[in-house]
């Protein structure tokens, strides 16, 4: 609510030509942290392809100081995720311990190739933390064609065999199997992606039998000219309605495999694709408020949104932003500048934005005269991932 109060005061000062209110402590509640740009796969559908395996890397001590500074100023959670494979960072386990020592919620999105590293961090994770493996296939053959692991002998069988071992160490956090649905006609640059719709059920069965808590289905995203990740179902080979119907039927059959302790999840943008409502979520307000709540920290710099990793005009600062009090102030000033200058209604007009509803809700709240004291606060559900 402090953010809404500040935005209201800022807008009314600007309308009335008064001095602007003081800049509040704008630090994100949650960050996506790309620990490394190194990756040991060459996935045909990878949206971060252009920024992988770069020479840039974090300075470890500075990165720890950044986490400490952000946690002290209100950050609640960190997702170790894309732009590289987090388990390949040499200090991965020690870094996860550092985050947990700071009482942060922690999540890891991994390609699954280093089950030994995931098992190593398992003792430090708690209820509310999670690990999700990006596997996207049900058979070893499609797994290898889609992901092209650098160790060619790596199979889905081998990856899934780690799950019961990790669960035995610590069953309190969630372990998920992520499946990006790809279709014929989808491309990354000039590379045609391998279709996997026919493996939706097989993957679900595999995830359930391996001991995952859930399988999550999402649609394939491509890089748009603006640099953002966008869903482009128009490029499906075959009639859109027929391909969507195949996906719908497969996901419905996958649902039949649910049982206590194992569920099938559909991402918001997959639901939008299947309801043919995805265009509704491409109409954004001019100001993206999510930029102040969730940011991306990577060896390429700090960015306003996971859809804009590595994109120059979405950059908030260097890889060492927030390393101390002065730098945290720079971060707040840059966040304010992007709130003013990053026009989401234009830049994100092709993005099926998952935060579309949140952004419009905040925008309407800021523009309304509803007293903030009358807004009912929900209890803290200890879920600070955004």
- Judged by CB under 6 A, the residue of 63, 78, 160, 290 near ligand SF4 is 290
Helical H runs in 32-139? 60-72, 92-101, 115-121
* Site for ligand SF4 contains 71 (CB under 6 A): no
| Per-residue burial over 142-154, b = 16 or more CB atoms within 10 Å of its CB, e = otherwise | bbbebbebeeeeb
- Judged by CB under 6 A, the residue of 154, 203, 348, 386 near ligand SF4 is 348
* Site for ligand SF4 contains 344 (CB under 6 A): yes
* Site for ligand SF4 contains 272 (CB under 6 A): no
What is the secondary structure of 277-296 as a DSSP string? Answer: -GGGGG---SS-THHHHEEE
Of 243, 224, 225, the closest CA to residue 233 belongs to 243
| Per-residue burial over 268-302, b = 16 or more CB atoms within 10 Å of its CB, e = otherwise | bbbebbbeeebeebbebbebbbbbbbbbbbbbbbb
* Site for ligand SF4 contains 305 (CB under 6 A): yes
- Judged by CB under 6 A, the residue of 80, 146, 193, 307 near ligand SF4 is 307
- In this complex, which beta carbon is closest to ligand SF4, that of residue 160 or of residue 314? 314
Please, which residues bridge with residue 263 across strands? 214
* Site for ligand SF4 contains 288 (CB under 6 A): yes
- Judged by CB under 6 A, the residue of 87, 182, 250, 284 near ligand SF4 is 284
The tokens for 163 are 């799950």
Stretch that binds ligand SF4, among 154-162, 173-181, 201-209, 343-351 (CB under 6 A): 343-351
**Residue 319: CB minimum distance to ligand SF4, A:** 20
Please, which residues bridge with residue 32 across strands? 79, 296
* Site for ligand SF4 contains 93 (CB under 6 A): no
Query: Within 10 Å of residue 224's Cβ, how many Cβ atoms?
Result: 17
Stretch that binds ligand SF4, among 31-39, 97-105, 318-326, 347-355 (CB under 6 A): 347-355
- Judged by CB under 6 A, the residue of 33, 182, 355, 366 near ligand SF4 is 355
Residues that bind ligand SF4 (CB under 6 A): 284, 288, 290, 304-305, 307, 344, 348, 351, 353, 355, 359
């Amino acid at each position: 609510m402090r953010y809404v109060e500040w935005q209201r005061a800022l807008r009314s000062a600007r309308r009335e030509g008064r001095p602007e209110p003081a800049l509040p402590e704008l630090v994100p509640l949650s960050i996506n942290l790309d620990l490394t740009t190194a990756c040991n796969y060459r996935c045909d559908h990878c949206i971060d392809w252009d920024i992988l395996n770069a020479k840039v890397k974090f300075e470890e001590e500075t990165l720890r100081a950044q986490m400490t500074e952000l946690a002290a100023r209100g950050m609640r959670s960190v997702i170790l995720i894309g732009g590289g494979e987090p388990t390949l960072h040499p200090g991965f386990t020690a870094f996860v311990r550092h985050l947990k020592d700071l009482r942060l919620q922690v999540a890891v999105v991994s390609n699954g190739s280093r089950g030994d590293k995931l098992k190593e961090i398992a003792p430090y994770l708690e209820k509310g933390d999670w690990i999700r493996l990006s596997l996207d296939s049900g058979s070893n053959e499609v797994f290898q064609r889609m992901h092209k692991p650098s160790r060619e002998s790596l199979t889905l069988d081998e990856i899934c065999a780690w799950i019961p071992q990790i669960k035995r160490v610590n069953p309190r956090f969630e372990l998920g199997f992520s499946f990006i649905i790809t279709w014929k006609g989808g491309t990354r640059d000039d590379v045609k992606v391998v279709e996997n719709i026919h493996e939706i059920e097989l993957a679900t069965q595999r995830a359930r039998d391996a001991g995952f808590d859930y399988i999550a289905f999402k649609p394939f995203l491509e890089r748009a000219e603006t640099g953002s990740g966008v869903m482009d179902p128009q490029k499906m080979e075959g009639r859109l309605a027929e391909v969507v119907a195949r996906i719908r039927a497969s996901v419905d059959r996958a649902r039949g495999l649910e049982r206590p302790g194992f569920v099938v999840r559909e991402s918001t943008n997959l639901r939008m694709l299947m309801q043919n409502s995805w265009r509704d979520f491409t109409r954004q307000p001019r100001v993206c408020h999510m930029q102040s709540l969730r940011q991306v920290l990577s060896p390429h710099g700090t960015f306003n949104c996971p859809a804009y990793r590595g994109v120059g005009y979405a950059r908030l600062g260097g890889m060492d932003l927030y390393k101390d009090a002065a730098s945290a102030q720079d971060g707040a000033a840059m966040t304010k500048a992007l709130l003013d200058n990053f026009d989401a209604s234009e830049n994100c007009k092709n993005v099926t934005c998952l935060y579309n509803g949140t952004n419009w809700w905040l925008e309407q709240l800021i523009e309304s005269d509803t007293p903030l004291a009358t807004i009912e606060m929900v209890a803290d559900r200890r879920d600070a991932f955004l």
